[in-house]
């Protein structure tokens, strides 16, 4: 009798998880073909789409022109990256700028340059460039996190 209850509970929990996944991801990346669809996905995930497209456009430009200070200014510190096959903790802008070429590698540059805003992969953790070379996310500046004007977008991960 106990085994039957466990099996039933397992089936119920599995069904709930499947249902929640269907609700949590309203649009698949390959179905997003317009700016309106992309903005709707970001509104659903983050509460607002404000600022994401302009942040991405500016980041692409700054990386293309090697504007090290501008890129360093939009990193959420501390940031863990790989430098010379070692995991390194980048603590501030100066350290980021000093190691810029080892952090923003040709692979990272290429993934950022090729990434289009429409159809960009996004989930509750943020937005992904390429196949995970760079991630961005919004961070709340206040405790309520209800005002989009109180959110700042930062680079949260670089997988170089």
Half-sphere exposure at residue 108, Cβ-oriented, CA atoms within 13 angstroms = 21
Mean pLDDT of the chain: 84
- Residue 20: pLDDT band (50, 70, 90) is very low
Phi-psi domain of 28 (left: phi exceeds 0; alpha: psi -120 through 50; beta: other): beta
Q: pLDDT per residue over 30-84, tens digit each?
A: 588 899 999 999 999 888 898 999 999 999 999 999 999 999 999 999 999 999 9
Q: Taking residues 10-24, report their average pLDDT.
A: 43
Asked if residue 26 has pLDDT above 50, the reply is no
Residue 53 neighbours by CB distance under 10 Å: 16
Asked if residue 8 has pLDDT above 50, the reply is no
Instruction: Tell me which of 16 and 111 has the higher pLDDT.
Output: 111
Asked if residue 129 has pLDDT above 90, the reply is yes
Taking a C-beta distance cutoff of 8 angstroms, is the pair 148, 65 a contact?
Answer: no
Asked if residue 97 has pLDDT above 60, the reply is yes
Residues facing residue 128 across a β-bridge: 135
């Amino acid at each position: 009798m106990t085994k039957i209850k466990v099996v039933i509970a397992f089936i119920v929990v599995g069904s709930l998880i499947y249902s929640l996944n269907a609700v949590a991801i309203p649009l698949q990346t390959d179905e997003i073909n317009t700016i309106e669809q992309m903005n709707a996905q970001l509104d659903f995930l983050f509460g607002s789409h404000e600022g994401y497209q302009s942040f991405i456009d500016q980041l692409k430009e700054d990386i293309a022109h090697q504007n090290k200070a501008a890129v360093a200014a939009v990193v959420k510190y501390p940031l863990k990256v790989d430098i010379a096959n070692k995991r390194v903790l980048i603590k501030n802008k100066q350290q980021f700028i000093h190691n810029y070429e080892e952090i923003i590698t040709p692979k990272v540059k290429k993934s950022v340059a090729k990434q289009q805003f429409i159809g960009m992969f996004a989930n509750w953790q943020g937005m992904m460039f390429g196949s995970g070379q760079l991630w961005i996310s919004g961070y709340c500046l206040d405790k309520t996190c209800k005002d989009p004007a109180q959110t700042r977008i930062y680079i949260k991960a670089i997988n170089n």
